[in-house]
Amino acid sequence: MKLFKFIADSGLLSRRKAQEEIKSAMVTVNGKLILDPFFEINTKDDIRYDQKKIQLKNNYTTILLHKPKGYISSKSDEKGRKTIFELIPKKFSLNHVGRLDKDTTGAILLTDNGQLSQSLMHPKNKIEKEYLAVTDKFLENKTIDKIKKGIFIGSNQKGKAKIISQEKVKNRIEIKMILKQGKKNEIRRIFKFLDLRLFSLKRERIGDILLGDLPSGSWRDLSKKEMKYLQKIQSKS
Q: What single string gives the DSSP state of each residue in 94-138? A: -EESS---TT-EEEEEEES-HHHHHHHH-GGG---EEEEEEESSP
Q: Do domains 62-124+209-236 and 128-206 have the same CATH topology?
A: yes
Q: Cα(180)–Cα(171) distance, rounded to whole angstroms?
A: 29
Q: Is 133 left (phi over 0), alpha (psi -120 to 50) or beta?
A: beta
Nearest to 166 by CA among 195, 184, 143: 143
Q: What is the CATH number of domain 3-53?
A: 3.10.290.10
Q: Does domain 128-206 have CATH number 3.30.70.1560?
A: yes
3-class DSSP state for residue 91? coil
Residue-wise pLDDT for 158-216, tens only, equals 999 999 999 999 999 999 999 988 788 999 999 999 999 999 999 999 999 999 999 99
In the predicted model, is pLDDT for residue 155 greater than 90? no
Q: Domain map of the chain by residue range? A: 3-53, 62-124+209-236, 128-206
The one catalytic residue in 9, 36, 46, 101 is 101
**Which 8-state DSSP code applies to residue 180?**
S
In the predicted model, is pLDDT for residue 237 greater than 70? no
In the predicted model, is pLDDT for residue 57 greater than 80? no
Candidate CATH numbers 1.10.260.40, 3.40.50.970, 3.30.70.580, 3.40.309.10; the one for domain 62-124+209-236: 3.30.70.580
Q: Cα(147)–Cα(160) distance, rounded to whole angstroms?
A: 5
Residue 101 annotated in active site: yes
More confident of the two residues 73 and 16: 73
The CA-atom distances, in angstroms, between 218 and each of 88, 92, 108 are 8, 15, 11
Q: For the chain, state the CA radius of gyration.
A: 20
Lowest mean pLDDT: which of 55-59, 64-68, 163-167?
Answer: 55-59
Q: Is the pTM of this model over 0.85?
A: no
Q: Cα(35)–Cα(58) distance, rounded to whole angstroms?
A: 27
Q: Cα(162)–Cα(109) distance, rounded to whole angstroms?
A: 22
Amino acid at 31: G
Average pLDDT, the chain: 92
CB atoms within 10 A of CB 82: 13
Residue-wise pLDDT for 84-138, tens only, equals 999 999 889 899 999 999 999 999 999 988 889 888 988 888 899 999 999 999 9
Amino acid at 211: L
The phi, psi pair for 13, rounded to 5°, reads -140, 160
pLDDT band at 60 (very low <50, low <70, confident <90, very high): confident
